[in-house]
Structure 1
């Protein structure tokens, strides 16, 4: 397996690859750590020599982790179930609740990125025209999200929206009385034995539910193992099993044909069911349930239109040939 990876590295076919951690049946299949320029959000970290303990942006894989935290909080009755009206959870915006279209919004529309609002993230993340950047710059991020012009009836069309995840993060913080990092540490990371992580915050001090998490790759893979175990880890129940199943149920089709559940993508690859968290630059958490396999990939191809290529090449040409 390592020979195949080395061959691809020499051929320049996995440019920007920083690290890989693949685990099958609880046993490590492959760990690779390289070197390259890296960033924490927009701040250059220079050339980094990556190792087992090196934290890395997982960017929008954070969204999938936030969904796990939502399920834990829901199991404890601390956040509203998916069918609950969304604006009822934000009583500070009574003017928005009077709009009949917005009144139809539910928590599930946030979970499935089907709010139906105008939201463009297909622009560089250093541009204020990018909706997520505009949200970060807004005086009130939650009002900014909820007052976007409505383009589609809620629930009818998937459209990538970091703002939807930000709303979920606020519901978790409100319901638990803790910040996302505090709650994540207590109910998810510590029970999994993940000792080190960072959760970056916006200028307003709010931890980013959509893209702020930094993890070591093998700890990211551990989250995949938790999903494989339907929320159980070493005999301990961490996430309710029914929530994991609901999260990974395909609900809407993305713009490129994959299906989307609750902040997780559902696809197939070489005849195997694949569920994944995906982040800018080539960050991936691949989970293949029928192979009992999880693969975490970190890379530095931020904002590159072909950023998907490196992690997919690692999965298809390095990992899968050994597991089938």
Structure 2
């Protein structure tokens, strides 16, 4: 262990009053530094959950359940009341890269209107696809929910059940909590609870191109596609957006401004920063309500040159 490389990071957390709970640094496959600001426990990962959903899609495709080029109409016909031309074109790939053609996220829109989220599929398909799918990025929690539902529709298992023998058990992660909706579908876009150490294993799995203990858990070609830009995000204009939000989006993964790196990214400062050029993974679990990007930027400002 080389915890002294975290001294500047820890000081910066205190100076900025960032609510980081845990940080874990892995290099060359091993944990080289970690610090718990509070006792480590399974924590809601928010949108970091999305990347687990994405990897389930990659595995399920390799097992023959579907192809990324398949039209989503082929799997959700019973959920759809009106079929537009753009909806006919929408593929699984479009769900993965947040290119559904919607102008806003149907779940966010419903929550802002104090609507119940008791039928997310209906919300998704009732929202007009005003852009041609694949051409316009909109961060879309409902798209990820539909990916989770796709796993259940095609495999007969919940997303968590599907991933237990394929990812969680090989990584020696005890069965986690993953929140479900009223229909028993894992939200997919959020809802997964893990510790920082458990989450860092998943980050290492991605850096390893899907290999763990000599076994290919996730297809390498899928990870290669997932971790490179699939859609342009240069116009992403959320109030918190920085250069790290303008580099493109893969399959439920953000590209970073730091060359050849990408991240899992969740509300309140949940991050797994994958740094292939450094053969390193930096994992944060946080509860930061106002300066989420400040947590991510600890990597660039205090740590990257030490790896």
User: Normalising to structure 1: TM-score of the pair?
Assistant: 0.85
More strand by share: 1
Structure-1 residue corresponding to 2:102? 117
**Equivalent residue for 2:7?**
3
Which runs of structure 2 are paired with 1:20-31 in the superposition (5 Å)? 20-31=23-34
Partner of 1:169: 148
Report if aligned partners of 2:255, 2:261 keep a CA contact under 8 Å in 1: yes
Q: Following TM superposition, by how much is the alpha carbon of 1:161 offset from its aligned partner in structure 2, in angstroms?
A: 0.1
Q: 2:252 aligns with which of 263, 269, 285?
A: 263
> How many Å separate the matches in 1 of 2:305 and 2:158?
42
- Given candidates 53, 61, 75, the residue that maps to 1:89 is 75
Gaps of 5+ in 1: 36-49
Indicate how the Cα distance of structure 1 residues 23 and 147 shifts in structure 2: closer, same or farther if over 3 A, else same: same
CA contact (8 A) 2:25 2:282 kept: yes
The alpha-carbon distance between structure 1 residues 192 and 320, as it changes in their structure 2 partners (threshold 3 A), is: same
Give how far 1:202 is off: 2.7
In structure 2, distance between residues paired with 1:290 and 1:262: 20
2:128 corresponds to which of 134, 149, 164: 149
- Structure 2 distance, partners of 1:96, 1:245, is 36
User: Are residue 240 (structure 1) and residue 226 (structure 2) matched?
Assistant: no
Greater helix proportion: 2
In the alignment of these two chains, the number of paired residues is 293
> Would the alpha carbon gap of residues 236 and 83 (structure 1) be closer, same or farther in structure 2, given more than 3 Å must change?
same
SS in 2 for 1:250: coil
Report deviation, 1:241: 0.7
Q: 1:121 to 1:22 in 2, by over 3 A?
A: farther
Answer whether contact 1:288 1:294 (CA < 8 A) is retained: yes
Match of 2:241 in 1: none
| Deviation of 1:216 (Å) | 0.7
TM-score normalized by structure 2?
Answer: 0.89
Shift of the alpha carbon at 1:122?
Answer: 11
The CA distance in 2 between the partners of 1:195 and 1:236, in whole Å, is 19
* Residue number among 64, 69, 75 corresponding to 2:62 in the alignment: 75
- Show the counterpart of 1:318: 302
**Contact 2:226–2:252 under 8 Å retained in 1:** yes
CA offsets, 1:71-99, max 9 Å, x none? 11111112x211111111112045333x2
In structure 1, distance between residues paired with 2:64 and 2:106: 32
Structure 1 CA distance for aligned equivalents of residues 60 and 180 of structure 2: 21
Cα distance change on mapping 1:176 and 1:228 into 2, 3 Å: same
The equivalent residue for 1:128 is 111
RMSD between aligned residues: 2.1
Q: Does 1:207 align with 2:186?
A: yes
